[in-house]
Amino acid sequence: RHGLQTKLLGRKVIHLNVTGSTNTVARQVAERGVEEGTVVLAETQSHGKGRLGRKWVAKPGSLAMSVILKPAIDPMHASSITLMAAVSVTKALRGAGLEAAIKWPNDVLVNGKKICGILTEMSAETDIVNFIILGIGVNVNNDVPLETATTMKAELSREVDRVKFTQLLLEMLEEDYLTFKEEGFTPILWSWRRYSDTLGRLVEVTYQDEVVTGVAQDVDEDGSLLVKTADGSIRKIVSGDCKHLRG
């Protein structure tokens, strides 16, 4: 909290040593009716969550954070929060001197390797969002077991001040979230396009049981990826897993 330059995000911070998943804690806290902008941080997670039941490994030295947001949006548009967060993380990593870029929908890469994953979970009624849990995991000074992953420390060849980086990230998130609230998703989308590593690439996108291969053309107003396939048609993919095949 000390030195944090934000007004909304991180007014209340719950800092845990070890927990299962910060997203799970944040959900419990949100269900009891906590203020918007409350942040849950953990030094380590024993059961960090990825999408679709996958695991996120958050060893000591990494950043595991969940932010409780209450945007007045249609539940259909909740994925725009994931894309927004990818923009904010990219800005913070660039601010720390790294050439970060976004891989649709929820990854941030440095040198083609995953440095951050984002998991948004929602509590909603038919047409209104009660709250969104924005979960962000960043590899900072921790070790990563995967060839496909990297850390800030590995890329910068030095330890990073984790508190300062967390503050910078919350500042970037707040800036983008206020823009989102005031002006909608369009300005965020322009930043997203600028920071994207996916657009223009040949990609292979898997969603449910289908695999779509083609060139990533754009992302539309609801965060869906538009892929131009070999027969020239455009496929709109609402969510899925994206593999970059080549530039």
Does 117 engage in binding with ligand BT5 (CB under 6 A)?
yes
In the complex, least distance from residue 66 CB atom to ligand BT5, rounded to whole angstroms = 5
Does 219 engage in binding with ligand BT5 (CB under 6 A)?
no
Q: How many residues bind ligand BT5 (CB under 6 A)?
A: 29
For ligand BT5, which residue of 29, 38, 49, 173 counts as binding (CB under 6 A)? Answer: 49
Does 57 engage in binding with ligand BT5 (CB under 6 A)?
yes
For ligand BT5, which residue of 9, 10, 23, 195 counts as binding (CB under 6 A)? Answer: 23
The piece of 45-53, 88-96, 160-168, 218-226 that touches ligand BT5 (CB under 6 A) is 45-53
Query: Residue 213 is encoded by which pair of tokens?
Result: 């291969």
Q: With respect to ligand BT5, which residue has the nearer C-beta, 20 or 184?
A: 20
Q: 82-111 mask for ligand BT5 (x: CB under 6 A)?
A: ------------------------x-----
Does 162 engage in binding with ligand BT5 (CB under 6 A)?
no
Does 56 engage in binding with ligand BT5 (CB under 6 A)?
yes
> Where along the sequence are the contacts to ligand BT5 (CB under 6 A)?
21-23, 45, 48-52, 54-58, 64-66, 106, 114, 117-119, 135-137, 139, 144, 146, 149
